Amino acid sequence: MKSNVLKVVVASTNPVKGKAALGGFQRMFPQEQFELVAVEVPSGVADQPMTNEETWQGARNRVMNAKQAYPEAHYWIGIEGGVEELEGELASFSWVAVCTGDKWGKARSGMFFLPPAMTELIAQGVELGKANDQVFSQLNSKQKGGAIGMLSDGALDRKELYEQAVIQALVPFKNPELYWKEAGEDPMKR
């Protein structure tokens, strides 16, 4: 077991995002030890991103802002939830961005469609977490199972959905020789 602890800064103080980030790192690199630091930073996009591009930009902006706040970290990770209209329905998903040095990993979570009651609230300017709270008479559900947790009756929750995307975003870091030209450079050794 290595004694070197790698500092991972998650660009959110939402405990669900922190647990998903740490879980993804631990599952991909079980031989490493990680210290998670949560920091609240702006996404630079709307509270409820309404397109794939805006959601990706929010995740990337969060990473850049976390990097400025904690430049001494080994990794910075941004998780941004968003929605997008597809064929008249509203789909929910998230983007994950991970950075170390000048190396980036990125992935989008699975997506699911929202029911009309939530879609109508979001169209009125309500953020998805608050829309979910209203529809299901919950309080702060985005720091718990989220919309997917309520809609799937707990079969899948927000942490699991995000953790899968974190793992996918870490694939290049697990296989650096396949993703980056600097053969032999191992970002885990930073």
Q: If we measure between CA atoms, which residue out of 144, 147, 7 comes closest to residue 77?
A: 7
116 assigned to some structural domain:
no
Instruction: Please check if 30 is assigned to a binding site.
Output: no
79 assigned to some structural domain:
yes
Instruction: Please check if 12 is assigned to a binding site.
Output: yes
Residue pLDDT, tens place only, 113-140: 999 999 999 999 998 888 988 888 887 6
125 assigned to some structural domain:
no
Domain count for the chain, please give it: 1
63 assigned to some structural domain:
yes
pLDDT at 3 over 80: no
Instruction: Please check if 73 is assigned to a binding site.
Output: yes
Instruction: Please check if 67 is assigned to a binding site.
Output: no
Instruction: Please check if 13 is assigned to a binding site.
Output: yes
pLDDT band with cut points at 50, 70 and 90 for residue 145: confident
Domain membership of residue 164 as a residue range: 5-109+157-184
**The CATH number of the domain where 76 resides is what?**
3.90.950.10
Give buried/exposed letters for 71-82 (b at 16+ CB in 10 A, else e).
Answer: eebbbbbbbbbb
136 assigned to some structural domain:
no
15 assigned to some structural domain:
yes
Instruction: Please check if 14 is assigned to a binding site.
Output: yes
98 assigned to some structural domain:
yes
pTM, full prediction: 0.89
Instruction: Please check if 172 is assigned to a binding site.
Output: no
Instruction: Please check if 42 is assigned to a binding site.
Output: no
104 assigned to some structural domain:
yes
**Mean pLDDT for the stretch of residues 54-66:** 97
Coil, helix or strand for 60? helix
Q: If we measure between CA atoms, which residue out of 38, 51, 66, 24 comes closest to residue 143?
A: 38
Q: If we measure between CA atoms, which residue out of 59, 53, 99 comes closest to residue 79?
A: 59
